Chains A and B, each alone.
Chain A
């Protein structure tokens, strides 16, 4: 690891004033919260910011309920704290997406603000050797013809197929979330849907955050009916593994008829991926197994496999179908902590 300075600001204002950029355009400021991604990548020499600005004394921690279904989540809240919070347990997709992620040790330190900005696990990004447009713009993409079993089939470009590896963002995106941020230019609000940008021709740029911009809080609105929600995560082992594919589902049903559906896909896309067209299509449908299968098919229209990860397309379809059928089968009063 290269020498770097570690800065400990006392307020968000101080933090954004002293933070230095990560070093590659569009990769934001070198903030340190839980440290579970940034330290890892610094040890691999993939990131080498001159300093880290620590957010330990800066970020709000905890979840406020404002009464109308709106939650305000301090960006410093840990994954473990949030997973157990009653407001999240009432919308199981929010809780499940947290406790099905990482390991207990990681969840104890990783923060929700940082979690949203989790970097890809693409091995060609992390090896610090291969061609990678995200790490070294213009160098190419070694993953397209390489070991890409874990990488994306949705939202890819010829320049990058790195997947967004996180889980919770796929649940959050269901709930019209707004990010409160702060930078040298003051505060602003960002619709969470707009935070991540597709790789396109500039995969180094992952979000719209400025180089000194800090996520301070996350607001989301959870409808009453979100008790019928599920995070279906398919992975190579039953704990501590990234999603091969996942589906975040929330359903408002009238009998078997869909009043409203919300659906997002994880593991298989380059960014947190809400499938709004499928949601619209589901509205008014009687949710039979055939409808669930068709929803899965629609969710992966336009998906492109890259060889090893071709299976993620049929698997992703089935993950969506399974998630819908599991959400349908729920009895929202008794749904929390279901583990299959």
Chain B
């Protein structure tokens, strides 16, 4: 077995997963546990005026019922944007208020799960109900402009006036829910004053500090265990409200407590991708060169928290423009606080951007790929900061050749095949290259076996494998000689598994540790004779602890690493602009009668610096593209505008792609060397796959039908005339 950097190594933990040996958070057995069950509100806004719990407490085995009438004494830690770690800025049970439909208003703890659920069902709440404003357009939502998040350069109005062509377009994106296969769960176990928490987490270090802060105990007392995560997608990046609740209940009841959150409860008790409304103005010369670019977004958030993704910041850096203006407005509504979901900013905003660029190509009668070539740049247009590397057009060319784009006939409806209208479309994908401080411990013994320890995470992404590959490379070993430990807050602190930072950061720090080991052993990875080296060294094992902080980090970033600070840097920085790029092409077929949209071909090419593992990278890209297809055509969290209730809170009616929807899907890799982004030369790949897909499909739908759908998901009814 070889398998150093770049090789298509199969996942080193794959066998464990297939054999059922990999233990996910809810799989950990604790002695003599109690079981918790959440109770959620059935109104969208108001006040709880009474709780009748007599029936519920009469259920045999019920230990206690928590609510605002019997709170758990937790202290808010704040969201990541305010230096905290929590999914929302306040604690459940802090008041009798109901802020949204599906809010956690009680938690039952009982001897077994059935008793907990039965008691939950028997709780009676009396509400004083108010009319909620849960969606855009509802009376009572509160817009909050965020001027600090706006970009401006040049004179946008002058640029528009001077343009030969202008477009002014509005786009909407729907709310989405993560629906990872692994449900949310928490198990808490105290040993004296020390707490162990088993919880699916994309950030064990942040969870450790965040849980401690909410409980009001020292972070050193908290141990977070999450070795495998069954899909995170951003939804497991912030501390869930229920996790400290379970820990607090466990402390009070002096027994371990286990909570499973049901699928339907997962729709409102954790975060989600909020709906957006966006406007784009484009001005262009007759040659297609963009003169002005304006992109503004309105994003839904909760009544209580300001959370926006503001993807216009990235969109504004994609193409040439003489003048740029962006802005974002947070619209406070009676819903839970939204949060990260795969490419949080780019997924919705690039649907709008890349649809608009396609519309401009139509207006100019230019090939959409050539329009992008005309506006390709070496430095972003807002501040003129150069890209570390940018292989966008190479991506278009590679994927375009495989797709057969040279046969593209731009005429609408020109590619009909019998009863099926065929359309082709393309779009740009991009994602900022980001990193975060991280540390690692690497252990090598005289038998030539290495162990790499870092509180990083594998969400099914292949992190175990690429970290092993990096160590194998740095120590001159075969990859099967490297063991990797992740997902435990007792390991050296790692990064959040978010913002596509993991691989770049982990590989950078592993390289440092391995170099030091080689230095101490007086050898190099290429020459190492392990036994001889250790004999000369005079010890049977050697260990190195290394820290790494990316360029551009704040002065105190190293200290922050040990205090649960996220520390992400990258993307549009002062000195460089760092992004990974891609190009995606879609073919759609639409039945001329019934208008359902199918996607027989979806090709993407991506350039993201050094690729650690061709196999896991391909899976990441493909997974992103599959989700992009779902985002384009299927996924929508259906909110009843009268109540704020989610009306499709199950995976039968919350539609995501199934195998039958995915036919010929390909991810290609454009070789790219980038020595500026980080020592590893790695750009993140976890999120970029989803970014261009929705627009590529929307553009193909237009080509097939002549109907421009400016929202996602695009569904049958968007292509049918009603009336």
Contact = CB atoms under 8 A, between A and B. Distances in A.
Contact of B638 (A130, A147, A310): A147
Interface stretch (B77-85, B422-430, B594-602): B594-602
Interface stretch (A154-162, A231-239, A279-287): A231-239
Contact of B640 (A1, A147, A314): A147
Interface in A216-258: 232, 234-242, 244-245
Nearest to B122: A2
B661 interface: yes
A45 B660 contact: no
Contacts of A45: 121
Interface string B418-437: 01000000000000000000
B716 interface: yes
A240 B659 CA distance: 10
Contacts of B117: 1
B655 interface: yes
A146 B658 contact: no
Contact of B661 (A121, A127, A237, A319): A237
Contact of A310 (B598, B655, B660, B722): B722
B658 A237 contact: yes
A194 interface: no
Contact of B645 (A127, A237, A245): A127
A145 interface: yes
B661 A238 contact: yes
Contacts of B519: none
A1 B114 contact: yes
A315 interface: yes
B653 A313 contact: no
Interface string A103-138: 000000000000000000101100101100000000
A236 B717 contact: no
Given A311-B722, A314-B722, A319-B594, A237 B660 contact: yes
Interface string B621-664: 00000000000011000111010010110001101011111000
A145 B642 CA distance: 9
A321 B658 contact: no
B715 interface: yes
A32 B642 CA distance: 36
A328 to B, nearest CB: 12
Contacts of B121: 2, 45
A311 B114 CA distance: 42
Interface in A1-33: 1-2
B719 to A, nearest CB: 9
Given A234-B596, A314-B721, A322-B593, A239 B655 contact: no
B42 interface: yes
Contacts of A322: 419, 591, 593-594
Contacts of B723: 310, 314
Nearest to A310: B722
B720 interface: yes
B118 interface: yes
A1 B648 CA distance: 21
A245 B639 CA distance: 23
Contacts of A313: 722
A315 B720 contact: yes
B42 A236 contact: no
A206 interface: no
B660 A236 contact: no
Q: Is the interface of A mostly helix, strand, loop or mixed?
A: loop
Contacts of B634: 236-237
Nearest to A146: B640
A319 B419 CA distance: 13
Contacts of B118: 1-2
A164 B35 CA distance: 38
Contacts of A242: 652-653
A167 interface: no
A307 to B, nearest CB: 10
B715 A236 contact: yes
Size category, B interface: 35 or more
A45 B122 CA distance: 11
A156 B655 CA distance: 26
B596 A235 contact: yes
Contact of B594 (A238, A239, A310, A315): A315
Contact of A123 (B594, B647, B660): B647
Nearest to A319: B594
A236 B593 contact: no
Contacts of B655: 236-237, 241
Nearest to A321: B593
A318 B594 contact: yes
Interface string A78-113: 000000000000000000000000000000000000
Given A121-B652, A322-B593, A322-B594, A147 B720 contact: no
A67 to B, nearest CB: 37
Given A2-B118, A147-B638, A319-B594, A311 B720 contact: yes
A45 B117 CA distance: 11
Contacts of B633: 236-237
A146 B642 contact: yes
A121 B658 CA distance: 20
A181 to B, nearest CB: 29
Interface string B683-723: 00000000000000000000000000000000111001111
B647 A314 contact: no
Most A CB contacts (10 A, CB to CB) among B640, B657, B658, B723 go to B640
A150 interface: yes
Interface in A136-175: 142, 145-147, 149-150
B118 to A, nearest CB: 6
B717 A239 contact: no
Contacts of B661: 237-239
A150 B642 contact: no
Interface string B299-320: 0000000000000000000000
A241 B639 CA distance: 20
Interface in B110-129: 114, 117-118, 121
Given A147-B638, A318-B594, 19 more contacts: A2-B118, A2-B121, A127-B647, A129-B42, A145-B642, A147-B647, A147-B648, A237-B657, A237-B658, A237-B661, A238-B661, A239-B660, A241-B655, A310-B722, A314-B723, A315-B594, A315-B716, A318-B595, A325-B593
8 contacts: A1-B117, A121-B652, A147-B639, A240-B658, A310-B722, A311-B716, A311-B720, A318-B595
Interface of A: 1-2, 45, 121, 123-124, 127, 129-130, 142, 145-147, 149-150, 232, 234-242, 244-245, 305, 310-311, 313-315, 318-319, 321-322, 325
The 9 tightest CB contacts between A and B, nearest first, are A311-B717, A322-B593, A238-B660, A239-B660, A147-B647, A123-B647, A318-B593, A234-B594, A129-B42
